Amino acid sequence: MTNFDAQQALAVKLDENDADAPDVRSYLAVLLETLLRQEEGFSGKRPFGNSGWLYDIMTPLADAGFKVGDDKFITQLVDALCGTETEE
């Protein structure tokens, strides 16, 4: 996967979700904001009130053809989100 693909992954549109996010990038931003606001009260299992939150982003990413179970994909996704992408 290239960094360009990671940017495409962040732009994948989402169905209705508990974060009210239109795409993966927005969803991850809301997740981070929730973590920072709730601090020790943050629930990694239920950050938006239900335990199926990971499927909100992983299913659309898989449907778009991304290998969501790949550690390298996750690293590149986070790097793209944070603007720390490196050329390979």
Neighbouring-strand partners of residue 23: 13
80 neighbors 9 (Cβ within 8 angstroms): yes
pLDDT band for position 1 (50/70/90)?
very low
The single residue listed with the structure tokens 């990694």 is 44
The pLDDT of residue 12: 96
The pLDDT of residue 25: 94
The Cβ-side half-sphere exposure at 31, using a 13 Å CA radius, reads 18
Whole-number Å distance between alpha carbons of 60 and 39 = 28
pLDDT digits (tens, 9 = 90+) for 17-57: 988 999 999 999 998 888 888 888 877 777 777 778 888 99
- CB neighbours (10 Å) of residue 36? 9
